[in-house]
Amino acid sequence: MSVDHAMFELAEDTGALCWRVYRWDPWCLSFGRHEPAARRYDRARIDTEGIDCVRRPTGGRAVWHARELTYAVAGPVEPFGSLRHAYQAIHRLLAVAVTSLGAAPSLAGDRTTPGLGSGPCFDAAVGGELVLGGYKVLGSAQRRGTTALLQHGSLLLEDDQSVVRSLHRAAVAGPPPEAPLAALLGRTVGFDEAADAVLRALAAGGTPVLADGAPNEVLQGALRHYDTYQSDRWTWER
């Protein structure tokens, strides 16, 4: 989260466009920036089971990060336009990546974004998020600054979001509205394969790729935010 926050700041300061794909170790539950997590999720159970939690710099609702791919993109608002257009543009590029994995995703239609207390992120597909066979496979959330935006998203590879529903204080009824790519394609879809597909789609669209671990000002800027995102006070402030 510190790195993604630093990407957002760089975009605000310089107009740079940055993409990042990564996975979580250990697996983690993330809350949206303004989500009332302390009221909606069972912290005592979370602590007892040793589940790691963090609060994102972007909005939206809770996501379980296990065997999935997380992307982050930060860049100037102007080329993207409205919130709706930004979501669609970013999701269209990700749809190219998912198609190369052997799927045929569609973009969810426009609809009102659910309220923060209405359940996990994957309970509904909105704003061009990716749907495959009627199931949501990618969920995203965004933050806007003065001149730049930061968008996060999770592409489900091997796991669904049942952990999030099990930790929600209110019963979340009905069949899961999401499914991982592995279940829908009938084969294993690993992180490396999915990450390569995203990087190829980026390269085809003209976005250069920085070698993993290369020193740069984003990593230096992330140091300013490390203590915040590590803090329980930040994670559970709402």
**CATH label of the domain that carries residue 173:** 3.30.930.10
pLDDT by residue (tens digit) across 119-149? 555 767 666 889 999 999 999 999 999 999 9
The confidence score (pLDDT) of residue 207 equals: 80
Which residue in the list 18, 28, 53, 121 is annotated as catalytic?
A: 121
Whether the Cβ atoms of residue 94 and residue 133 lie closer than 8 Å to each other: no
Write out residues in the chain with pLDDT < 50, as ranges: 112, 114-117
| CA dihedral sign, ordered 100, 151, 176, 41 | positive
The confidence score (pLDDT) of residue 110 equals: 65
If one counts the domains in the chain, the total is 1
Give me 95's structure tokens. Answer: 């749809």
Q: Structural domain of residue 31, as residue ranges?
A: 2-235
Q: Identify whether 28 is a catalytic site residue.
A: no
Dist CA 177 CA 204 (whole Å):
31
The confidence score (pLDDT) of residue 212 equals: 63
Judged by DSSP in three states, 227 sits in helix
The confidence score (pLDDT) of residue 116 equals: 47
Nearest C-alpha neighbor of 126 from the set 81, 87, 165: 87
